Structure 1
């Protein structure tokens, strides 16, 4: 069988990437449809500064690689995903990548054993002693033990449809300044699946200002939700508002039929806040990312 490479170039390619991610997702996977929608949905195709290649057979995607910073002197940073049932496609993708990005670093979740095996076959290795920045995967079971979100004096609610997108995008920019998220980019992302406003939770102060949020993404096929991203305005922090937004989003997942939710956050000592926040909402860490070079 011939596996051919195609670069992500528009909405059709994005649909194929989302289908591939949904079809191959497992409870120990790094990438969820929400990651793809957040990264590429604002552009309806490739994100600026990235190149995404997909390997297909008869129109069915079997592997994908996204390269960030290919022009950097120290090499590109790659994300890599492949169908567990087709190690040949993983090998084909990595053979191409070694030529396209000779000094690459590839990050995967340590539980993605089939990807680690493919990287090892390609001659890449990980440093077990690497204590640099890494991401820690957390998950929570969506059952009756979820506490209700009750921040005193604040209203926790979903976004009021697409009409509220300018306020919602402005909140993101205020929290994460400088940010490239424009009203138009947010509107583009919200115009297509898997975005749904009932999973886009905001926190409103007594004066009606939006001050915190949690953006949720729900994969109906796998009954799994993802949180990405989350934030609170600096002057409203340390009041439990992010936790309240997270809990409200988890309840929305559960009401939609979800049975699990995941979040990937920094786990190293350089950014310790997420390690303290997510366990308070019921999340348990289960794996970290590893970098192969």
Structure 2
């Protein structure tokens, strides 16, 4: 039968998440994870459903894409379908069509994240797409207990959302927040925490000797015996260079182990040398670099 492209309804989000959980592997490139849907759900479940594209054949979901902005799709292909030539050709056609899955970033340019989908990558390259910036996936097996750094770790509940959000803002923006910023970001976190994916997640904060929150992480389980995801991880701008990134990474790995995950994974731009060093110091092992694929203006 033909391959069908669809956008799920809100009540179909669980089937997309379950497929992504089944497709996670302990080794190799870290493709789209159910936790990525969870993090995106800060935008609300309706917006998250609208951003997902599913390719199905004979009732089986074989590929899932998340539109993460106007010109970027983050893709996962069922592991047993990655060398399926018909599927790779269909994905290539849908992704390369400027009027198709990717509307482009304003000038017709677009980016595809398709880690591990080698046949699809080759077909896009043959159509003139180019390799973009390199990323490195880090994995840590969780078969053994994780040694932590002795700092206080708190699993953040909704009544403490402000603590987590304030550190995250500082880590990724480094600017002063207005009251409007605070209300908006706390509201987004609460939307995520009340959404359909958060049962598999934990938001963590670690505190220094003065009991100040200094670093945060969110972790997403794909179920017992499967790899979990660290996304995001951040250290408060005023507390960098003191080992808190390693400490919160270890706390995140320990939490995933408690949730039954077989390993912990995170992917980082290879140019981010500080993050690369942090994950290595937390006992994570890098895999070979992978690149996004970029289509120029049309």
The normalised TM-score by structure 1 is 0.79
Which consecutive residues of structure 1, in runs of 5 or more, have no partner in the other structure?
71-75
Asked if the contact 2:168–2:236 (Cα under 8 Å) also holds between the matched residues in 1, the reply is: no
Give 1:196 deviation, angstroms: 4.8
Q: What is aligned with 1:77?
A: 72
Q: 1:251 Cα shift? A: 1.5
Q: Distance in 1 between matches of 2:142 and 2:15?
A: 29
TM-fit CA distance, 1:231? 1.0
User: What is residue 231 of structure 2 aligned with on the other side?
Assistant: 228
Does the 8 Å CA contact 2:14/2:196 hold for their aligned counterparts?
no
Equivalence for 1:37? 38
After superposition, give the CA deviation of every residue in 1:61-86 in whole Å (9 maximum; x if it has no partner).
2223344554xxxxx33323222444
2:120 matched to 1:123? Answer: no
- 1:92 paired with 2:90, answer yes
Q: For the residues of structure 2 that align with 1:194 and 1:115, how far apart are their CA atoms? A: 28
> Is the Cα–Cα contact under 8 Å of residues 140 and 260 in structure 1 kept in the other structure?
yes
1:13-32 to structure 2, matched below 5 A, reads: 13-27=12-26, 28=28, 29-32=30-33
Q: Tell whether 2:248 aligns with 1:245.
A: yes
- Asked whether the equivalents of residues 89 and 120 of structure 2 are also in contact (C-alpha less than 8 Å), the reply is no
Aligned to 1:169: 165
Query: Does the residue aligned with 1:287 lie in a helix, a strand or coil?
Result: coil
More helix by share: 2
Note closer, same or farther for the CA distance 1:222–1:39 as it changes in structure 2 (3 Å cut): farther
Secondary structure at the residue paired with 2:288? Answer: strand
1:233-253: per-residue Cα shift (whole Å, max 9, x none)? Answer: 122111111211111121122
The 3 A distance-change label for structure 1 pair 66 and 199 is closer
CA–CA distance in structure 2, aligned partners of residues 137 and 107 of structure 1: 13
Question: Does the 8 A contact of 1:138 with 1:287 survive in 2?
Answer: no
1:224-276 CA-to-partner distances (Å, cap 9, x unmatched) read 221111111122111111211111121122223222111111212xx321111
Alignment of 1:108 onto 2:114: yes
Q: Report Cα offsets for 1:114-169 as digits up to 9, x if no partner.
A: 4435545x735544xx6xx3321000111336322224xxx22322x222223322
Is residue 13–residue 45 contact of structure 1 (8 Å, CA) maintained in 2?
no
Per the TM alignment, residue 183 of structure 1 is displaced from its structure 2 partner at its CA by 1.5
Query: What is the TM-score of this pair, normalised by structure 2?
Result: 0.78
User: 1:282 Cα shift?
Assistant: 0.2
Give the conservation status (yes or no) of the 8 Å contact 1:194–1:219: no
The aligned counterpart of 2:105 is none
3-state DSSP class of the match of 1:46? helix
SS at match of 1:182: helix
CA distance in 2, matches of 1:287, 1:191: 36
Counterparts of 1:97 and 1:145, CA distance in 2: 42
The whole-number CA distance in structure 2 between the counterparts of 1:12 and 1:106 is: 26
Q: Judge conservation of contact 1:83–1:90 (CA < 8 Å) in 2.
A: no
From 196, 214, 217, the equivalent of 1:214 is 217
Q: Distance in 1 between matches of 2:120 and 2:78?
A: 9
